[in-house]
Amino acid sequence: MWTPGKHVFVLLLTLVSTLRCRADTISEFAEDHDDDHNHEILRVLPDTYNWTHRPRIKGRWLDVTCAAHLLSFGAVSEQTMDFEVSLQVAQEWRDHRLANLTQNTWLPVDSGVQVWKPHVDFANTKSLDIATAEEETTMWVSREGVVNLIVRYDIKASCQMSLHAFPMDQQTCHIRLDGFDDTRLVWGLPSLMTMNTVPVISDATAFHSQFKLAGITAKSYVTSFLPSVPGKGCTFSEQTCDYADSDACQTNTKLCADDAGSEECDNCLYYTGICGNVTKPCDLLGKGDKSTYTSLEIQFHLSRRFAYHLMQMYVPSTFIVIMSWLSFWIEIGAVPARVCLGVLTVLTMTTQSSRSHAMQEVSYVRAIDIWIVACQLFVFTALVEYAVTYRWWLTENKGRRIIIDMEDKPTENGASPEHQPIEISGKCDSCNFVPTAAQNIDRVCRMVFPSLFVIFNITYWTVYLSA
């Protein structure tokens, strides 16, 4: 049975529920509004938008402008021939289908919204992890339809190294991005990478490696799937940045801890180096067929830090070689002292040389191998020199016995005396039987061994440091 009181109660309950839903909606919008820094969020695309098709353009190539921020440079391994980097990559392209979706300059895109993205692959990576968190906004759209995508990657990439000059070697490792589906990848400055003044910048405080990052080269070139295409690998833009001054950012480790946000700190966090640009014509870029595609490459020019190897290998082995020369000043007859010194230096040098065997085995001779073999040869030759000198000394002293025949001894029957020689071997101050030849060998070696070692050092360091 219908009653007025019950009807009023139902109306009030409906009104309260409606207000509560509206309040929840307002609250959710406010939270989104606050979380996204007072910007709207693109959650729904127009019905006519098809994310599986790329934007229609005039001509073949859809230009995709790319930039990168090197966040950290980690370990470089000679054993596995690879290196580790953390890289933030920004891509920008124009999609006219997304224009006029907002009145704001930029509109964040919800992570659940499917938008067409360029097909870009990292070509030479062993492992690739997306370091950007799922809740982070990675894509923005402008009111003109320009799309920006910024993603962080943790990358382990292969790097084929030549270790002929180890540990004074310089290596060039690279990361390559290939663009497919007729996208033309070019290095540039995307709109949201406002800290960039060059396409590739680095956090110079985060270079943790046995190598120094001497410079970075950013290349754009066109290549082909086919093995033989005229003009394949043509580079149409190249920028090389010198990182010679980047060590100052690593030396002052408290720079950004004490002065975060200062100009000096920002110069290290967004380090550019001294850069030079080269633009070249490339016919294949305009004449290529569907088998051609563009690639971006970041080349890391690495110079091995030499101080560690100098203190751990070169300085100790030099002292061992010098110690082996002390035997030239020890008397030839002091057999235990000279033998013990020679054996000690040989064993110490052998132990020292084993420190270089922990790295990758290669089929060619490295600079460190030449140094170790030369030091072992100097030490071993010093031991052999003593063996030769001692043998010579023994030969010289064989016939130098003092014959004393001045003593008369009577015979048993007392008839006549008989002269019998008495052999006395030993030191005689009045006799001149100094082993001059053996001593001269020692004296010559005192000059020859250090001279040869100096000549070897001059030749060795000249060849490898100049290379």
Least confident of 14-18, 151-155, 266-270, 395-399: 14-18
Amino acid in the structure at residue 315: V
Tally Cβ neighbours within 10 Å of residue 324. 26
What is the percentage of the chain residues whose pLDDT exceeds 90? 47
pLDDT at 436: 63
What 3-state DSSP class applies to 151?
A: strand
Which has the closest alpha carbon to 175: 293, 300, 80, 74? 300
Burial class (CB in 10 A: 0-12, 13-18, 19+), 222: buried
**pLDDT per residue over 373-428, tens digit each?**
999 999 999 999 988 888 888 887 765 544 334 344 455 555 445 444 444 444 44
Judge whether 82 and 159 are in contact, CB under 8 Å.
yes
Report the SS3 class of residue 15.
Answer: helix
Indicate the range of 20-24, 37-41, 273-277 predicted with least confidence: 20-24
Give the number of residues written for the chain.
467
Q: Helix, strand or coil for residue 175? A: strand
Fold classification of 309-403+421-466 is Methane Monooxygenase Hydroxylase; Chain G, domain 1 (1.20.58)
Pick from 275, 295, 272, 293: which is nearest to 284 by CA?
293
Identify the residue with better confidence: 450 or 264.
450
CA distance 399 to 402: 9
pLDDT at 230: 85
Grade residue 17 by pLDDT with cuts at 50, 70 and 90: very low
Whether the Cβ atoms of residue 152 and residue 71 lie closer than 8 Å to each other: yes
Given a cut of 50, is residue 430 above it in pLDDT? no
Answer whether 435's CB lies under 8 Å from 393's CB: yes
d(CA 212, CA 249): 12
Say how far apart CA 206 and CA 181 lie, in whole Å.
35
* 3-state per-residue secondary structure call for 372-386: HHHHHHHHHHHHHHH
CATH match of 62-305 with 2.70.170.10: yes
Q: Residue ranges per domain, the chain?
A: 62-305, 309-403+421-466
300-326, pLDDT tens digit by residue?
A: 999 999 998 999 999 999 999 999 999
Tens digits of residue pLDDT in 322-365: 999 999 998 887 888 888 998 899 898 988 887 765 566 788 99
C-alpha to C-alpha distance for 235 and 296, rounded to whole angstroms? 10
Q: How confident is the model at residue 15 (pLDDT cuts 50, 70, 90)?
A: very low
Residue 112 has a pLDDT of: 87
State residue 453's pLDDT score: 97
Query: The pTM is what?
Result: 0.79
